[in-house]
Amino acid sequence: MCHNLARSAICEFMRRQLACRPRNDASTFPGSITRHRQAMRIALLIYPQETATVSAGLESTHMTSDKACGFADLVRQRRSCRTYKTDAVPPETVARILDSARLAPSACNKQPWRFAVVTDQATRLRLVREGLQPGIRMEWAAIAPVIFVLGIRKDFITHRLAPRLSGVEYPLLDLGIAGEHLVLQATELGLGTCWIGWIRPRQVRRIVDWPGDITPQALITLGWPALPPSEPRPRLEPGDITKWI
């Protein structure tokens, strides 16, 4: 147990070292390249196999793409945004964000996701007033200049039959991946987003006028943040959620 915890802590430390490693910029971060090398040497001594595997994977990403470090930063910067400016988001920006969602992987490449882009103010208000479950105040969502509605259109074999056999809800997995592509693309462009899962799917479907075979699963608000990002919310430690075998 202790051994596993120590191993995952060290591996996480190595990942961070590699992910945030300075490239050729020792002048900006004096000493950090040396510290990075020392950390890697120690890790290699203690867990040679894991270190080599993690290191090889991350090193190759670094070598092929300068944006690898940018992605790690992006993931750390993202927050749920609940305070928006009223300024519109240009349609081409919204289209670019949707394109990143569209490129997500999906089981059997069935792409069950469907999106409604709601910019009309009256419809956004209806979504917030009639499309949300009671009990949590989310008026802030109507200020966001864009609300995406994320829905699922199920294919019989992959989305109805296969989950019955395996017990795995493929379309929900697919939609979650696409939705987070959308969120991270928006974050990269300086926009704020917030997932909203506390919805009334039937009412939402009626408001966006989707046919009966598309089921809304979530909303995501989009807009320019009106406040600086909040402090990060706590996360479980790698050792609490990971089992290395």
Binding mask 64-93 for ligand FMN (x = CB under 6 A): ---------------xx-------------
Contact status, residue 89 vs residue 191, Cβ threshold 8 Å:
yes
Q: Angle CA(78)–CA(79)–CA(80) in degrees, nearest 5? A: 135
Structure tokens at 25: 């910029």
Contact (CB, 8 A) for 241 and 12: no
From 17-25, 85-93, 166-174, 192-200, span contacting ligand FMN (CB under 6 A): 192-200
Residue range at the interface with ligand FMN (CB under 6 A); choices 5-13, 46-54, 64-72, 189-197: 189-197
Reference 124, options 223, 191, 212; nearest CA is 223
**Which pair of structure tokens corresponds to residue 235?**
């996360």
Residue 87 CB, nearest approach to ligand FMN (Å) = 21
CA distance 47 to 39: 12
| 144-to-1, 89, 217, 224 alpha-carbon distances in Å | 46, 10, 19, 8
Asked if 173 interacts with ligand FMN (CB under 6 A), we say no
Restricting to residues 206-225, name those near ligand FMN by CB under 6 A. 218
Residue number, nearest CB to ligand FMN: 197
Binding flags for ligand FMN, 23-52, as an x/- string (CB under 6 A): ------------------------------
Stretch that binds ligand FMN, among 16-24, 28-36, 162-170, 190-198 (CB under 6 A): 190-198
The binding site for ligand FMN (CB under 6 A) comprises 79-80, 138, 194-198, 218, 233
